[in-house]
Structure 1
Amino acid sequence: MTALSDLLEFQKETEALAAIAGRLEWDQETMMPRGAAEQRGEEHAAIQGVLHARRTDPRIADWLAASDGAEMTQAQAAMLRHIRRDYDKTQKVPAKLAAELARVTSVAQGKWAAARAADDFKAFLPMLEQVVALRQEEGQALADGGDVYDALLDNYEADMTAGRLDAMFGEMRPRLTALREKVLAQPEPKGLTGTFDEQDQVALATTLASTFGYDFTRGRLDRSVHPFSSGGGSDARITTRTSAEDPFNCLYSTIHEVGHACYEQGIDPAYLFTPLGQGVSMGVHESQSRIYENQLGRSRPFTSWMFGEMTRTFGDIGVSDADAFYAAVNRVRKDFVRTESDELQYNLHIMLRFDLERAMVSGDLKPADLETAWNDRFKADFGYDVPRASLGCLQDVHWSVGLFGYFPTYSLGNVYAGCLNAAMRTAIPDLDDHLAKGDTTPATTWLRQNVQTHGGLYRPAEVIEKACGAAPTAAPLLDYIEAKFTDLYGLQ
């Protein structure tokens, strides 16, 4: 045995334990009885304590030092890069803090769900204050004198900074807001009408998941308050939610989560239980969910096929033909909820959250003032008032579970998806012909081969650059959005 093989064998067990911890989180969102929240918090704390101890084991430093200069494959070198990075980061976070974060965020998720259902921000506030304080403490430890928000962002998107995101969002905001004003000045396309059986929605969502290549022999579809994807390898699970009045909520959240899960299912099986065996960053992960949902799932060709599936499932849905259905899928309207937003306004929702969470992490915004700050910012950005907390600062699960630094990766994923879409359509000139038949295979195969199979082999931006032949920029996404909505709304 060599130091390298000893290290990778030790890491394999750590990765397996982390997967078990992830399954606990999946169960909490889907199957766990509501009364078990406090107990689950202790369980989370216990397993995170074990993981923290393994990730700070002093033998890791010895194995890393002994492996320096050793002959190794490209994959092994990448594994060591990830292990060294995680070891350095974890060393900075006290074990007691890691366990307390796991315990508090586990309990906070249930408190958030109850407060959201009751539209009562004050009921959630004590938990939010605890979560923010703990994340601030963690960020200060990780930053080691540097920017605290950047340290938390690095948990989800390595090599990215808030300053670079600010510059990117500054480029995007003027073009998006100008187009939004033009679009909202036009008549709003007709939406679907009627009620839609929720069991039938799940059945159609299951069909759509298979259509996009989700392997149900290695995954499952369940319901939760907030749709999410969990796990990887041979156990990649997704959830959705249903509304009798809005089937798109179920169907497109399913396609979105399928993008995440197919990324995990598409990673080279040789990387299982190694640091390369999961998506390399949340930005790259979001590129897959967003391109599945939007550039493929909301395209005119695919929605023409989907219109037939909808009418076969539900009968009269309130729109008469495929063109009207395409307009209904992509209509832009005054709304509040990020997960139900159209492509044009979605990134504006993210920019709002990015600025507010940075302010909370820095201490410039107290959690007690979040609801007012959210409502004021929303009014300034979107032009109308938030009527209740479930449509405002309580709509997302992220802050309850401590995911500070996560939100901007959604927009970064959109930017990556814009780059990938342009490259993919160059590589597959007849893609629309396939999509019009409900055949996503050419697209999903291209994405698997050019993005998904690599797992964590490359750095995040490097994955996109290798797939597209150029460094990622926001221009392809903005060009795509402007072309799509200019055509859809007949703008000059």
Structure 2
Amino acid sequence: MAAYDELMAHARETEALAQVAGRLGWDQETVMPRAAAPQRGEEMAAMESVLHARRSDPRVGDWLAEANASGEVEAAQLRQIRRAFDRANKVPAKLASAIARVTSEAQGAWAEARAADDVAAFLPVLQEVVALKREEGAALSAGGDVYDAMLDDYEPGATAADLSQMFGALRPRLVELRAAILETEAPPALEGVFDESAQMKLARQIAKTFGYDMARGRVDKAVHPFSSGSGLDVRITTRTDELDPFNCIYSTIHEVGHGAYEQNVDRRYLLTPLGQGASMGVHESQSRIYENQIGRSRAFTGWLYGQMREAFGDFGIADEETFFGTVNRVQNGYIRTEADEVQYNLHVLLRFDLERALIARDLEVEDLEAAWNERFEADFGFAVDKPSHGVLQDVHWSVGLFGYFATYTLGNVYAGCLHQSMRAALPELDAALAQGNTTPATDWLQEKVQRHGGLVPPRELIENACGFTPNEAPLLDYLEEKFSAIYKL
């Protein structure tokens, strides 16, 4: 066991340093002075150099060759360390450092360009990011499919071909459901002005309602909501809009899904390669099932209606049933993170196709805005009115997250499967949710998914939790049943 013990000691230090690097990213998005961006880029590059050196250290290869697993946990630790070691040795240290530096700077450039609706100001740095990520993808793929190599960073074992088949099966029923809904009368929209400090107070209350541990976390504001960290320090962010409190509430619930996952990983895996979520697809399954199947359910919105009235007084929605329709209102919109459940995945599929084209060199950065606008109008039936509602709305490409977008829809598919199994296991769930008690659902998810961390490969983890091979049918069935009832289709 000497080799295994030395390997794990090295891995724990590496994981601790990775958490420090993550905290730098959290700080950049929340409280860092704007003028600090160039220095932060250098700091992030320095941290990435250290991490890359540790992950590619030749001693890791020697330890892996000598180490023997005495059980499932040890075997999984070795699998994850070998995966990181192989990846690090494919990517030159200079390239890894350059990506960290440029993406840190690009993040600030994106935020400024988005605020100014100035695509031209962002394109030069985005071209740098894309060029570096293409180079990295080529190194990782070693002659294979470059995009698959990028996707594997976020969803081990997934391929673009498999996802394209799944997404192709989703699209027709989603488009048909969307068209049927938009021909009917919509529930009333939320109107009025909602105090932003009251929104944040309610958001923190709801975070606790979903089991988020404030002793090991915090809720802050950011341009683009996100979750950061694992184990004993898991932070989330949300955003507020005085005209749209649902943006704050459901962004918070979504990020709590991510944060609770990290908080609920078995404590034995703390600061080891198993001490975090199995994949981004599995991660997204938790955030989406918290946000949608639980948070937008008829039972839970009945409780939320009362909380909204306490926080904001009479806000013009007559009763709980009407409020349920308002929460789940399907309407045209530009923003992925604000999209209803029916249209959300259409936003993701647009990004998935565009970024695959970018990486394959079938699309160049200077043509990205036009391609986005053309595809958006074809998919949604109306034109993008400004860049912040279009190609500039998401942070992902600025920070180099190519291969990430697909995991959003894959997470929705996983969530559909988990929800079907969870409802079968918890027939009295709605009675609890109507009282604002999410514990039966969150406990079930913790037991079936979250506590395992990275112990089990992602698709196997979902299959074990559900008892069947993950597929798109449960999600589509859930959406059609729910929205057919709301819109009387």
TM-score (norm 1): 0.99
Secondary structure of the structure 2 residue equivalent to 1:484: helix
Q: 1:159 aligns with which of 157, 161, 167?
A: 157
| Whole-Å separation in 2 of the counterparts to 1:269 and 1:474 | 32
Q: 2:292 aligns with which of 291, 294, 315?
A: 294
1:64-100 CA-partner distances (Å, limit 9, x unpaired): 1111xx3512101000001111111110000000000
Secondary structure of the structure 2 residue equivalent to 1:237: strand
Contact 1:336 1:391 in 2 (8 A): yes
Which residue does 1:386 correspond to in 2?
384
Q: Which letter maps to 1:66?
A: E
| Whole-Å separation in 2 of the counterparts to 1:454 and 1:268 | 6
Q: Which letter maps to 1:107?
A: E
| Whole-Å separation in 1 of the counterparts to 2:212 and 2:50 | 33
TM-fit CA distance, 1:318: 1.9
1:285-313 CA-partner distances (Å, limit 9, x unpaired): 00000000000000000000000000111
Secondary structure of the structure 2 residue equivalent to 1:429: coil
Structure 1 stretches (4+) deviating beyond 4 angstroms? Answer: none
Percentage of matched positions with identical amino acids? 63
TM-fit CA distance, 1:227: 0.2
User: Structure 2, unaligned stretches of length 5 or more?
Assistant: none
> Residue 2 and residue 234 in structure 1: after superposition, are their counterparts in 2 closer, same or farther (change >3 A)?
same
Which residue does 2:66 correspond to in 1?
66
Q: Which letter maps to 1:271?
A: Y
Which residue does 1:341 correspond to in 2?
339
Structure-to-structure mapping, 1:424-443, within 5 angstroms: 424-443=422-441
Which residue does 1:320 correspond to in 2?
318
| Whole-Å separation in 1 of the counterparts to 2:122 and 2:460 | 40
| Whole-Å separation in 1 of the counterparts to 2:266 and 2:133 | 33
| Whole-Å separation in 2 of the counterparts to 1:80 and 1:246 | 47
TM-fit CA distance, 1:59: 0.5
Which residue does 2:457 correspond to in 1?
459
Structure-to-structure mapping, 1:65-464, within 5 angstroms: 65-67=65-67, 70-464=68-462
Q: Which letter maps to 1:57?
A: D
Which residue does 1:44 correspond to in 2?
44
| Whole-Å separation in 1 of the counterparts to 2:191 and 2:7 | 58
1:326-367 CA-partner distances (Å, limit 9, x unpaired): 111100011110000000000000000000000011111111
Contact 1:7 1:60 in 2 (8 A): yes
TM-fit CA distance, 1:42: 0.1
Q: Which letter maps to 1:407?
A: F
Q: Which letter maps to 1:469?
A: G
> Residue 71 and residue 121 in structure 1: after superposition, are their counterparts in 2 closer, same or farther (change >3 A)?
closer
Q: Which letter maps to 2:359?
A: V
Secondary structure of the structure 2 residue equivalent to 1:221: strand
Q: Which letter maps to 1:310?
A: M
Q: Which letter maps to 2:288?
A: R
Q: Which letter maps to 1:50?
A: V
Which residue does 1:10 correspond to in 2?
10
| Whole-Å separation in 2 of the counterparts to 1:320 and 1:26 | 40
TM-fit CA distance, 1:324: 1.0
TM-fit CA distance, 1:188: 1.8
Q: Which letter maps to 1:305?
A: W
Which residue does 1:32 correspond to in 2?
32
1:371-426 CA-partner distances (Å, limit 9, x unpaired): 10000000000000000000001000000100000001000000000000011011
1:429-487 CA-partner distances (Å, limit 9, x unpaired): 00000001100000000000110000000000111111111111111000000000100
| Whole-Å separation in 2 of the counterparts to 1:311 and 1:6 | 57
Contact 1:259 1:289 in 2 (8 A): yes
Secondary structure of the structure 1 residue equivalent to 2:236: strand
| Whole-Å separation in 1 of the counterparts to 2:61 and 2:230 | 28
Q: Which letter maps to 2:97?
A: A
TM-score (norm 2): 0.99
Q: Which letter maps to 2:132?
A: L
Contact 1:263 1:452 in 2 (8 A): yes
Which residue does 1:483 correspond to in 2?
481
Q: Which letter maps to 1:58?
A: P
Q: Which letter maps to 1:470?
A: F
Contact 1:191 1:318 in 2 (8 A): no
| Whole-Å separation in 2 of the counterparts to 1:407 and 1:146 | 21
User: Structure 1, unaligned stretches of length 5 or more?
Assistant: none
1:14-51 CA-partner distances (Å, limit 9, x unpaired): 00000000000000000100000000000000010000
Contact 2:69 2:75 in 1 (8 A): no
Secondary structure of the structure 2 residue equivalent to 1:154: helix
Q: Which letter maps to 2:79?
A: R
| Residues paired across the two proteins, number | 489
| Whole-Å separation in 1 of the counterparts to 2:448 and 2:341 | 24
Secondary structure of the structure 2 residue equivalent to 1:466: helix
| Whole-Å separation in 2 of the counterparts to 1:396 and 1:479 | 29
Secondary structure of the structure 1 residue equivalent to 2:153: coil
